[in-house]
């Protein structure tokens, strides 16, 4: 009987909360214990660098469920509590006080953490990282219109924080090792778009730039020292050079890990009765025929339904294509598909790139659409998704022609 079973979820972010929700929606009436490292109710993370930082949303507006929901659903949410270990043979989770918690099924939703820079001064006061609401609040309190912010790293978090900070008049400098922002994610073609966007909005974007250390005055970060010895002054420094999946618990438990917790299409790990979801899950994708790990909101939102089915012994596969979005200044964008660096041959654009109202498509050598992106065009999402999932070759010229419906771009003409 399910009422006599206990399912434990390690990780109190969006993925963990949604797993508890999905289990109750599937009429699981056993015990659910949700261990959350943070003292806050589970919340979504994208607003930390977007609406929250821009002053457009408060924490309750992006909290997954209020406390009453957890009480009504009989979910034993334990804020400020994380697991120190788990034993997949004994089916137990060890808590910080040394006590153990038995489980019938276990979900790992431990998320990721900010990648740290191993340079002098990186741990000084005034150096910030953003993965939590408390970290975002700390940086926000340090800034005002007369302050200087230096962002190390031109990835999604760095660019979004820069855009939000410019919105209330902060002087922003971005330092990026690569030749363009987002180059590893979107390639140079779209990297140029985001470089132009930030420079047009007053950001001092410096690419092909190496950071040597954080300059520290009286114990507080006062700037960033570059490889050439020059110093970029700062009132606050944000290090945004990517994230690392929190896989240490899984590794210590003997579960297969390789850049993430290895799971099948149903999110089942190498250990019986243990699933992994969200940032840590390196999952076999049935459509892409590849193992991928995606650190984006959509996985944390949607994978829990598959994980819940697997935990309940139901056949399940996670088949959604990777999806992410961003909002920076007047640019709103959605991306669907999977076109990692080196996998595509060409990028086809459709529309007005200079005025940032266009579509972009990443094609392989057979002219199949690996990924698509809509920028400030909001009625093309479904057609883009169809092109990506169909695996049908397209005619690049027709794809680029706004007069040809996207639904007809796959009809190759000679």
| Chain segment 165-208, per-residue pLDDT in tens | 999 999 999 999 999 999 999 999 999 999 999 999 999 999 99
Spans in the chain with pLDDT lower than 70: 1-3, 411-414
Residue 342, SS3? coil
Fold topology of 2-113+244-311 = FAD/NAD(P)-binding domain (3.50.50)
C-alpha 304/C-alpha 200 separation (Å) is: 40
CATH number for the region 116-241 comes to 3.50.50.60
pLDDT confidence of residue 1:
47
Tokens 């950001």, residue?
Answer: 203
Please name which of 57, 63, 54, 61 lies closest in space to residue 12, comparing C-alpha atoms: 63
pLDDT confidence of residue 414:
44
pLDDT confidence of residue 352:
97
pLDDT confidence of residue 409:
87
**220, β-bridge pairs:** 125, 217
pLDDT confidence of residue 146:
86
How many residues make up the chain in this entry?
414
pLDDT confidence of residue 113:
96
Please name which of 361, 371, 314, 360 lies closest in space to residue 338, comparing C-alpha atoms: 371
Instruction: Please provide residue 85's backbone torsions phi and psi, each rounded to the nearest 5 degrees.
Output: -170, 165
List of E strands, 70-141: 75-79, 85-87, 92-94, 100-102, 105-108, 112-114, 127-128
* Range(s) within the chain of domains with CATH label 3.50.50.60: 2-113+244-311, 116-241
pLDDT confidence of residue 2:
64
- Per the CB < 8 A criterion, the answer to whether 16 and 109 are in contact is yes
pLDDT, one tens digit per residue, over 97-125 is: 999 999 999 999 999 999 999 999 999 99
- What are the structure tokens assigned to 398, written together? 């027709």
pLDDT confidence of residue 3:
65
* Range(s) within the chain of domains with CATH label 3.30.390.30: 330-408
Please name which of 214, 276, 241 lies closest in space to residue 88, comparing C-alpha atoms: 276
CATH says 330-408 is which class? alpha beta
pLDDT confidence of residue 367:
95
| Long-range CB contacts for residues 144-148, cutoff 8 Å, separation at least 24 | 144/168, 144/169, 144/170, 145/169, 145/170, 147/171, 147/235, 147/236, 148/172, 148/173, 148/233, 148/234, 148/235, 148/236
């Amino acid at each position: 009987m399910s009422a006599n079973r206990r399912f434990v979820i390690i990780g109190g972010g969006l993925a963990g909360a949604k797993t508890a929700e999905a289990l109750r929606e599937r009429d699981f009436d056993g015990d659910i214990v949700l261990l959350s490292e943070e003292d806050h109710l589970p919340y979504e993370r994208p607003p930390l660098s977007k609406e929250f930082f821009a002053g457009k949303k408060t924490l309750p507006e992006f909290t997954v469920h209020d406390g009453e929901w957890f009480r009504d659903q009989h979910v034993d949410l334990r804020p400020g509590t994380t697991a120190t270990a788990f034993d997949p043979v004994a089916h137990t989770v060890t808590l910080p006080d040394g006590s153990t918690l038995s489980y019938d099924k276990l979900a790992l939703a431990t998320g990721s953490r900010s990648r740290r820079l191993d340079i002098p001064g990186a741990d000084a006061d005034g150096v910030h990282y953003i993965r939590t609401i408390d970290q975002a609040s700390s940086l926000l309190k340090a800034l005002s219109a007369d302050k200087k912010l230096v962002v190390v790293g031109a990835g999604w978090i760095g660019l979004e924080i820069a855009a939000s900070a410019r919105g209330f008049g902060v002087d922003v400098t971005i330092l990026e090792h690569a030749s363009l922002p987002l180059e590893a994610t979107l390639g140079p073609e779209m990297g140029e778009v985001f470089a132009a966007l930030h420079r047009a909005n007053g950001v001092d974007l410096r690419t092909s730039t190496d950071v040597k250390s954080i300059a520290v005055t009286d114990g507080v970060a006062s700037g960033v020292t570059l490889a050439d010895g020059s110093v970029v002054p700062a009132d606050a420094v944000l290090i945004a050079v990517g994230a690392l999946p929190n896989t240490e618990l899984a590794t210590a438990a003997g579960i297969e890990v390789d850049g993430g917790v290895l799971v099948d299409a149903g999110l089942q790990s190498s250990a019986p009765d243990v699933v992994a979801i969200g940032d840590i899950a390196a999952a076999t994708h049935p459509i892409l025929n590849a193992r991928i790990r995606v650190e984006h909101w959509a996985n944390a939102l949607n994978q829990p339904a598959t994980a819940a089915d697997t935990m309940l012994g139901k056949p399940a596969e996670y088949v959604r294509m990777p999806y992410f979005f961003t909002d920076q200044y007047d640019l709103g964008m959605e991306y669907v598909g999977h076109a990692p660096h080196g996998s595509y041959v060409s990028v086809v654009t459709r529309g007005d790139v200079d005025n940032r109202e266009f579509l972009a498509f990443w094609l392989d050598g057979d002219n199949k659409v690996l990924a698509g992106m809509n920028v400030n065009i909001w009625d093309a999402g479904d057609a883009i998704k169809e092109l990506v999932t169909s695996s049908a070759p397209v005619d690049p010229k027709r794809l680029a022609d706004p007069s040809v419906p996207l639904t007809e771009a796959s009809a190759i003409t000679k």
